[in-house]
Structures are given as C-alpha cells and as structure tokens.
Structure 1
Amino acid sequence: ALFTRQSAAGYARMAERMLRLGKSSAQTRIAYAICELCLRADPFGLVADRAFHLPMTQQVLGEYVGLSSVHVNRTIRAMARAGVLDYRGQLEVIIHDLAALAATAQIDPAELKAAIIPPPG
C-alpha cells in the first residue's frame, strides 16, 4: 500500500480543509479554524472553560483561512456581537456558544476532535 492508514487520514483532512477554503463563507472558515485550533490546544492544557490564547495575529489567521485581516476582524466582531465568542487583545478567545460556533463551522466537534487528535496511548 502506498499510503498508511494514518497518512491517508492526513491527506483526507488536507483535502477537506482545501475544499472548505474554496467554498465556505468567511464566518464558516473562521469558525472552523477557531474550533480546530481550540481542539488542538486542549490536550496541552491551553484551554480553560473554552478560553484560550490564539497565538497569531488577525493577519496570520486571515492567511490561514484565506481572508484579509480586515475581513477577519469584521467577521470576528460580528460573532462577538452575536454572543458566540469574545476576543481580546492578540486574539484571546472565549467561546460562549460552542453549539453555534460548531454550526457555523459546519462540524460536529466530537467528530473533528476524533479526526485530528490521536487517541491516548
């Protein structure tokens, strides 16, 4: 076999991410990125009560999701006004409504976590 099970899963995740970047709205892209980054930070003890530091500027986040920093700022402010999340300073993120964020991201957080976080052991 050319691909191992693990590398095939990695390629599938990369293909899914590329598809999301190409077809999703700004809110969906940013919500997905915030969910994914939160899930990735959690096993390292970097998330407390759905609050975490996103160690990137809005410009870098924009590059990550294929948007301008201005568009990222406007989108995050709209999410904050809707009560989904808060952000402070250099993207200290507090997720108030995970269900709404996940719905915007078009994901099931448990399924995404299972796909990106290796099982213990």
Structure 2
Amino acid sequence: MAASLRRSGARRAVPGVALIIVVVVGISGCQIAVDDFGSEVIFSNAYSESLNFAIVDPEGQIDTEVWANSSVAYALRECRGDSIRVETLDGEVLGEIDRPACPGWRVRVGPEGELSYVDEND
C-alpha cells in the first residue's frame, strides 16, 4: 500500500513543466509589447489651455483632446489622414500640418501656439 501513495517522477515533473511554459509564454508576450513601441503618434500640448488634435481623414475625422501641458499617444499601425489640425476647444484653429499622422512622429504645440511635427524614430 505504501507504494501506491508515492508519486512517480513523471507526475512530479508536470507542475515544473507547466511553470516553465507559463514563464516562456509570459516573456514572449513582453517581447511583443516591446516590438509595438513607436506604433503611435504623440500629441504634445505645451499651450496654456486644452486643445483638440484632429487627424483629418476622408474616411472620418479623428479628434483627440489633450490637456494643457500634457501629451497623449494615439495608436496607429500606419500613416493615416491627409493632415493634422490643431484647434482650441472653442474652435479657433491654431494651425494645420499638411501631412498624414504617422507612427513614431510627434505633433507638438509650443507655449506660443507654434506647431512642429518631428520624427521620433531618429
């Protein structure tokens, strides 16, 4: 009877193998997340009030509100839209960039309302 209470070596190895599988899958998931870095356009607002950043696209405009002195990342897999327009929440247009929004780029509004569009991949 004592022999039937002992666990075989194979049965003891199952939890260890399961743990290794979980760790490998977890590490692989982290690698995927790291690979996606840079797949967003960053909207930065150093202006004194909240602003609306709009990706002007024939398929529909995408609006993103960004608070004063903050930034927002908008996920993109590829360039989108014809231009990027920045305006106050009252509708006053501060400026427009005649280029599409692209992953890895940053649209920045400075303290005086000046716009810049910089490739963060460099």
TM-score under structure 2 length normalisation? 0.26
Q: Which has the higher contact order (CA 8 A, sep 6+)?
A: 1
**Which structure is higher in strand share?**
2
**Which structure is higher in helix share?**
1
TM-score under structure 1 length normalisation? 0.26
